[in-house]
Amino acid sequence: MSEPINIPTMAGFAAKGEVPEVLFWLGCMGAFDDRARKITKAFVRILNAAKVKFAVLGQEESCTGDPARRAGNEFLFQMQALQNVTTLNGYGVKRIVTACPHCFNTLKNEYPALGGSYEVLHHTQFINTLIKEGRIKIEGGSFAGKRITFHDPCYLGRGNGEYEAPREVLLKLDAALVEMKRSKQNGLCCGAGGAQMFKEAEPGNKEVNIERSEEALAASPDIIAAGCPFCNTMLTDGVKHFNKEGEVVVKDVAELIAEAGDL
């Protein structure tokens, strides 16, 4: 690597008396999970390539409280939320981008009632804007002609009505975008939402991620594109379950764009 990548923090900006264009909210998975860190890094490469003046909170970021709230622990959610709102408002944050639809939903929809109102974007929306504004140039290259199917994250799609941004981005790869049987409004959950990620599934006859992965594989894709670190993990496991990991890869939209742009 030629020159070291330096990740700017909000504290760093504040010390210089400057404000970044956008705060990149990583989410716990994006910071800690080995797989999701790759998404974080890919998105940072995109931000750098587009010369976006961004910052992260670093050690000051804390769980949005989403899983606690969905699991019924409103106290814990509000502890987290109020603490985060204090941090965000302290830095005068106006605009946030995140690669996690759960953080996205909480920051965008649930923090306003607690005194935190920000413009919140999902990273696929942000990337889409960067492409439209010509700040990054994407050519299909290695993806041309590949079959890609996009799995709608519930918290981005049904939850917040965003179905098109990730698809518009994927279309830039000159790939064939194929839809699963259930997609967009009718998309099937990966099984991780509502705090399920953190617990064993209740008794049943099948895991939800197996059901969804089966459906994704039925679309005969080369790539299953995800827009959520939870979905990514669930689908990766599902593809392994069917011993298809050699043929089908599960990648985040940001990873595909970073690869296509050789960023």
Partner 1 sequence: MMERILFALLLVGATVLFSRNILRITRNIKLGKDVDRTDRKGERWALMTRVALGQSKMVVRPVAGILHMIVYAGFVIINIEVLEILIDGLFGTHRVLSFMGGLYDFLIGSFEWLALGVWVACAIFLVRRNIIKVKRLVMKELDGWPKTDANLILVTEIALMTAFLLMNGADQLLAWRGEGHYVTAGAFPVSDAIAIALDNWSTASLITLERAAWWFHIIGILAFLNYLVVSKHLHILLAFPNVWYSKLAPKTEMTNMPRITGEVRSMLDPSVQPPVPVARTVAGMEMTERFGAKDVFDLSWKSLMDAYSCTECGRCTSECPANLTGKLLSPRKIMMDTRDRLEEVGKVIDAKGKWEDDGKSLHSRVSEEELWACTTCNACTQACPVNIDPVEIILEMRRYLVMEESKTRPALTTMFNNVENNGAAWAFGPDRRMEWAEEMNR
> 216, 222, 67, 70: which is closest to 152 by C-alpha?
216
Alpha helices in 72-139 (DSSP H): 74-90, 101-105, 123-132
Q: Which is nearer to partner 1, 61 or 255 (CB)?
A: 61
Q: Which CB atom, from 3 or from 133, has the smaller least distance to partner 1?
A: 3
What's the closest the beta carbon of residue 122 comes to partner 1, in angstroms? Answer: 13
Report in angstroms how near the CB of residue 7 gets to partner 1 at its nearest: 4
For residue 140, the minimal CB distance to partner 1 (Å) is 26
**Residue 147 or 158 with smaller CB distance to partner 1:** 158
7 vs 178 by CB, closer to partner 1: 7
**Residue reference for tokens 């970044």:** 20
Q: Closest distance between partner 1 and the C-beta of residue 81, in Å?
A: 9
Choose between 114 and 177: whose C-beta lies nearer to partner 1. Answer: 114
Q: How many helices (H) and strands (E) does the chain have?
A: 11, 8
In the numeric block, the tokens 């204090």 are attached to 86
CB of residue 131 to partner 1, shortest distance in Å = 23
Q: Are strands 223-226 and 249-252 parallel, antiparallel or unpaired?
A: parallel
| Sheet strand arrangement including 119-122 | 54-55, 22-25, 95-98, 119-122
Count Cα neighbours of 90 within 13 Å in the Cβ-side half-sphere: 13
